[in-house]
Amino acid sequence: MNNKHKQLLHPLPQKEVFRRLLVYTGKEKKLIIAAMILLIGGTAADLAGPLIIQTFIDDYLAPRNFVQDALITLGVVYLLLYAGSAVMNYIQGYLFQKVALSIIQDIRVDIFAKVESLGLSFFDQFPTGGLISRITNDTEQVKELYITVLANFLQNIIFLIGIFAAMFYLNAALAAFALLILPLLLIVIYFYRKYSSIFYADMSEKLSQLNARLNESIQGMSVIQMFRQERRMSREFAVINQQHQDSWMKSMKLDGLLLRPAIDLISILALMLVLTYFGAASFTGPVEIGVVYAFVNYLDRFFEPVNQIMQRLSMFQQAMISAGRVFRLMDHNEPPPKQQPNAGYQIEKGNVEFKKVHFSYFENEMVLSDISFRIDKGEMLAIVGQTGSGKSSLINALMRFYPIREGNILIDGKEIQTIPFQEIRKNIGLVQQDAFLYAASIKDNIRLYNKNITEAEIFTAAKTVGADAFIQELDNGYDHVIGERGTTLSTGERQLLSFARTIAHNPKILILDEATASIDTETEAEIQDALKNARAGRTTIAIAHRLSTIKEADHIIVLEQGRIAEQGSHQQLISKKGIYEKMYHLQQGMNYIQK
């Protein structure tokens, strides 16, 4: 991980996170406005109910003034208001969730697209585990954030404002008086927010430790058992488990002290305030009972939204941190190498030439120095060298995964920078050493996203590389769905499949990174045949581990510490009596192995 990557681990300031979150709501402006209107309408209708009952009590019931028409109107209006508020509240609740979900969809696609657009250098250095969790878990947290803020905070705040408005309408003096409970609430909220964020963070840290330990133990259970450490591990687990329980208890106690029970206490205080006010007023003159009724009723409903907001505060804080992580990654800039702006050359033949190529991942550590060779259509180049000699780097340069430092890479005599990326990808086929297979059917693994590859072409490609036989033996043949990471297939079979995939895409230049892992002799022979068939009419570059492959090559390069130690045809190298000759000498008398 370099400094640029470390930047990704720094938290983003809350203000900036908030601004970015707000920007995303812009696209959903219309829906948000519609939902807001419904929310205000629904809340107003909801809060009008007690007012109607108040009118009924004060104007009709208390003075025993029963006008049938007026009463029926009042009843109908009351029921309509409730029905209306139910419908409006349902729609707004749904709309806010919809807004939150579409925003999160945008964020997810944005961040995924961003990650896909990064250069391979990023993936070679940044741990994948962290990436995956940013794309899925962190965005999931952000989703909760939007839902909480939009669907919960907003609704509850509007509701609270509505209640205050109604109270002011009923009795401004008392309403102003009732505002006195606000500071009390704010104090409770302040302390709850302060401590819950600490406790909550501690608890989630303990939980993740617990889960990590559990997960690790399940995966390493055979080791634990082999070394008879079951009791110790159980003991250690019990300790973490106990710690988790303790911090859970702490959170629970905090909730008990400052959440519902505290709010309930405040609501009793508020009730006392209202009753005292009206009681005192009654000493001096008559009081409208309906107003008392409405006040009591409003107070009753005032505190539930407060409870709901408080319960989500701690989650809110965690989610802001997640959002920060997501935006950091979205801001990360590490593009693949740049092509020239007017790059437009179409690869015709696929002749490859390296001219004094120097290559390095970091400034001062040259990995390839002064590499020059030329290989034309129909020929095969074998690259030989020990681990760390620069073989994979050579591929990284030719695939243009990384830029080179000095020199030129030419395809058909044109500089690689002048060829569009898609053209390079289409015409250079790479058979990876550790074949990656998708959890999909064999067919889809060969075809990938290219819909133009017909079934017939898939079969031909598989036959060309000799994968047809083992595919036929699988359940459902070409429709067989490969299990997680292709574990049901052997290394050799996987490489054959990866080979078939490359051939089906019909590249002009074929790069084979031969598997070093132990492969059965039979499979090895199959891969040899595959290579022979696949090479025809193509430029082939093979990172070779097997003598049989090397012998087939028209041209051989021996790499040593990033430099070409020897190169030439088999015959030339033999007559040179250098490293290659020594190597070859060893196989004398063993030719029968190849037969």
Does position 87 bind other proteins by CB under 8 A? yes
CB 542, min distance to other proteins, A? 13
Does position 455 bind other proteins by CB under 8 A? no
Helices (H), 118-150: 120-125, 128-133, 139-146
Closer by beta carbon to other proteins, 26 or else 129:
129
Closer by beta carbon to other proteins, 19 or else 272:
272
Number of residues that bind other proteins (CB under 8 A): 154
Residue 501 CA, distance from chain mean position: 27
Binding residue (CB under 8 A) for other proteins from 17, 51, 167, 292: 292
Site mask, other proteins, residues 132-171, x = CB under 8 A?
x--xx---x-------------------------------
Residue 402 backbone phi and psi in degrees, to 5: -130, 150
Does position 6 bind other proteins by CB under 8 A? no
Contact 498, 435 (CB under 8 A): yes
CB 340, min distance to other proteins, A? 17
CB 136, min distance to other proteins, A? 5
408/397 Cα distance (integer angstroms): 10
Closer by beta carbon to other proteins, 19 or else 338:
338
Residue 342 backbone phi and psi in degrees, to 5: -100, 20
Site mask, other proteins, residues 558-577, x = CB under 8 A?
xxx----x------------
284/534 Cα distance (integer angstroms): 104
Beta bridge partners of 352: 375, 411
259/268 Cα distance (integer angstroms): 14
Does position 335 bind other proteins by CB under 8 A? no
Considering only residues 533 to 552 of the shown chain, the ones binding other proteins according to CB under 8 A are 544-547, 550
Considering only residues 185 to 214 of the shown chain, the ones binding other proteins according to CB under 8 A are 210-212, 214
Closer by beta carbon to other proteins, 355 or else 561:
561
362/121 Cα distance (integer angstroms): 11
Binding residue (CB under 8 A) for other proteins from 38, 51, 85, 326: 85
CB 516, min distance to other proteins, A? 8
Closer by beta carbon to other proteins, 66 or else 362:
66
Query: Kind and range of the H or E element at 428?
Result: strand 428-431
Does position 75 bind other proteins by CB under 8 A? yes
Site mask, other proteins, residues 507-526, x = CB under 8 A?
---------x-x-xx-----
Does position 360 bind other proteins by CB under 8 A? no
Does position 529 bind other proteins by CB under 8 A? no
CB 9, min distance to other proteins, A? 12
CB 320, min distance to other proteins, A? 21
Query: Kind and range of the H or E element at 368?
Result: strand 366-375
Alpha-carbon torsion angle 399, 403, 406, 410, nearest 10: 30
Closer by beta carbon to other proteins, 15 or else 231:
231
| Residue linked to tokens 């802001």 | 320
Considering only residues 411 to 440 of the shown chain, the ones binding other proteins according to CB under 8 A are 421-422, 424-426, 428-430, 432, 436, 438-439
475/519 Cα distance (integer angstroms): 23
Binding residue (CB under 8 A) for other proteins from 164, 195, 293, 316: 293
Span from 183-191, 256-264, 345-353, 357-365 in contact with other proteins (CB under 8 A)? 256-264
Binding residue (CB under 8 A) for other proteins from 11, 13, 261, 335: 261
Does position 13 bind other proteins by CB under 8 A? no
Distance set, CA 587 to CA 87, 410, 526, 547, 548 (Å): 85, 35, 21, 9, 11
54/192 Cα distance (integer angstroms): 36
Helices (H), 312-403: 313-331, 391-398
Does position 452 bind other proteins by CB under 8 A? no
Binding residue (CB under 8 A) for other proteins from 244, 508, 535, 555: 244
Q: What is the C-alpha end-to-end distance of the chain, expressed in Å?
A: 48
Does position 590 bind other proteins by CB under 8 A? yes
Does position 332 bind other proteins by CB under 8 A? no
Distance set, CA 376 to CA 417, 504, 541, 557, 570 (Å): 19, 21, 10, 15, 17
Considering only residues 469 to 508 of the shown chain, the ones binding other proteins according to CB under 8 A are 485, 490-491, 505
For every residue of 1-41, DSSP letters joined together read --HHHHHTTSPPPHHHHHHHHHHHHGGGHHHHHHHHHHHHH
478/463 Cα distance (integer angstroms): 12
Binding residue (CB under 8 A) for other proteins from 154, 296, 315, 574: 296
CB 533, min distance to other proteins, A? 21
Contact 370, 358 (CB under 8 A): yes
Span from 22-30, 167-175, 360-368, 555-563 in contact with other proteins (CB under 8 A)? 555-563
Considering only residues 266 to 285 of the shown chain, the ones binding other proteins according to CB under 8 A are 268-269, 271-272, 275-276, 278-283
67/446 Cα distance (integer angstroms): 82
Does position 220 bind other proteins by CB under 8 A? yes
406/359 Cα distance (integer angstroms): 7
